[in-house]
Amino acid sequence: MAKQRFAPILVFDVNETLLDITTLDPFFERVFGDRAILREWFAQLILYSQTMTLCGRYVPFGELAVGTLRMLGSIYQVTINVSDIDELKARMNTMPAHPDVLPALNLLKDAGFRLVTLSNSGSGASPSALEGAGLSKFFERRFSVEAVRKFKPAPETYQMVARDLNVEMSDLLLVACHLWDTAGAQAAGCLGALLTRPHNALLPVIEVPEPDLVAVDLTGLTKKIIERWVGL
């Protein structure tokens, strides 16, 4: 593929893309007796965040996370205690980075790329999960959807980033391991780069935007990004 003249600003999703949500497995194993409930909880959390936006309503992502946990407690007839909620919040705020993240971010910064994040999570108190994982130093800005009170993939979330950075939508490359996120960004006019981490994949439907770049991990995706844009 031919190199393109101008390198985009890289906009990273945070949860699961950079931070490893599988570290929540022990919590769901303890509470529900099945760590696979993590995936159901996360899928329902995303579903209802998008539902809230479609309904014209907004509550912080953290509140939805707790509400979704209580909902699953009702479904599986499991009592959710205050201590359980406190543990979930603590674990969500201390999720580590995936092993491939730190080397990839170093390579991208050394190659001259501008990096920011865009998360459904609120800005919250310091230290943030990114700070705790040692990643905040790589990003010049950290955007939260709370500023527009809509969750991704609403176009307003990506438009906010372009507006605040004073660039065109086409100057942004959204990096995420969720196809609904890259598809939303591309529909809004951004480029999209998909990480097919475990439990994430392409959706073979003709009207779903195909990501501009796809790789199984951030190491491979970083190589593709650098190959496409560096050295011009």
Residue 53 carries which side chain, given as an amino acid letter? Answer: T
Q: Which domains does the chain have, with CATH numbers?
A: 9-20+95-229 (3.40.50.1000), 21-92 (1.10.150.240)
Taking each continuous run of H as one helix and of E as one strand, the counts in the chain are 9, 6
Show the 3-state SS of 152-199. CCCHHHHHHHHHHHCCCHHHEEEEECCHHHHHHHHHCCCEEEEECCCC
Cβ–Cβ < 8 Å for 222, 106 = no
Query: Alpha-carbon distance 39 to 189, whole Å?
Result: 30
pLDDT at 153: 97
pLDDT at 2: 43
Cβ–Cβ < 8 Å for 175, 224 = no
Query: Alpha-carbon distance 180 to 45, whole Å?
Result: 14
pLDDT at 5: 58
Q: What is the pLDDT of residues 31-44, one digit of tens each?
A: 999 999 999 999 99
| pLDDT averaged per 10 residues in sequence order, the chain, 232 residues | 70 96 96 96 97 96 96 97 95 94 97 96 76 92 96 98 97 97 98 95 93 96 95 54
Question: Which residue, among 196, 194, 190, has the nearest Cα to 173 in the 3D structure?
Answer: 190
pTM of the complete model: 0.94
pLDDT at 129: 86
List, in order, residues 6 or more apart from 204 with CB less than 8 Å away. Answer: none
List, in order, residues 6 or more apart from 145 with CB less than 8 Å away. Answer: 61, 118, 119, 120, 151, 152, 154, 157, 160
Question: Which residue, among 184, 115, 186, has the nearest Cα to 151 in the 3D structure?
Answer: 184
The edge-to-edge listing of strands for the beta sheet with 141-144 is 141-144, 115-119, 9-12, 172-176, 191-195, 213-215
Distance of CA 140 to the CA centre of its chain: 17
Q: Please list the alpha-helical segments (H only) found in 8-36.
A: 25-32
